[in-house]
Amino acid sequence: MTETVMLTVFLKHDQTKNLEQIQAHLEAEDWWHGFPPEGAEIVSWNVVMGIGQIVTLRMPPEILPRVNVEIERRAWGVFTTEFFATYDFVPVRERLTREADARKAAS
């Protein structure tokens, strides 16, 4: 299995622009075709009212610079951005729950 990393990107709307201005900018920069770059898988993409969009990507670590460049090339001007390394906690939570249940049953 190829090594991957997950990255969560906060795309915070520039609230000095209305939706039509944001969409026009994204279209002019070919956002919908250029982001994410090839090799990055969209894990989730959510709209957060009053903030913007939160995108989580899974990708090989070597394409992280391409993800950054595409954000700079296509999103700057309508979004401010924040990036967070992330991982899937669900399997860990499930293991911790099983372990807690086992300790409870043993006492």
Q: Determine the average pLDDT of the residues in 77-103.
A: 93
56-68 per-position pLDDT tens digit: 999 999 999 999 9
pLDDT number for residue 1 = 56
Number of domains in the chain: 1
pLDDT number for residue 2 = 73
Residue 26's CATH number: 3.30.70.920
Q: What's the CA dihedral at 90, 91, 97, 102 to 10 degrees?
A: 170
> Strands of 41-48's sheet, edge to edge?
41-48, 52-59, 5-13, 79-86
Q: Determine the average pLDDT of the residues in 64-92.
A: 93
Asked which of 32-36, 73-77, 83-87 is least confident by mean pLDDT, the reply is: 83-87
pLDDT number for residue 95 = 95
Residue 49 structural domain: 5-106
Nearest in space to 11 (alpha carbons), one of 82, 85, 87, 84: 82
Q: What pTM did the predictor assign?
A: 0.82
Q: Which helix (H) or strand (E) holds 46?
A: strand 41-48
Q: What confidence category does residue 88 fall into, taking pLDDT thresholds of 50, 70 and 90? A: confident
**Cα separations in angstroms, 103 against 58, 84, 100, 107:** 35, 34, 5, 6
* Cα Dmax for the chain: 64
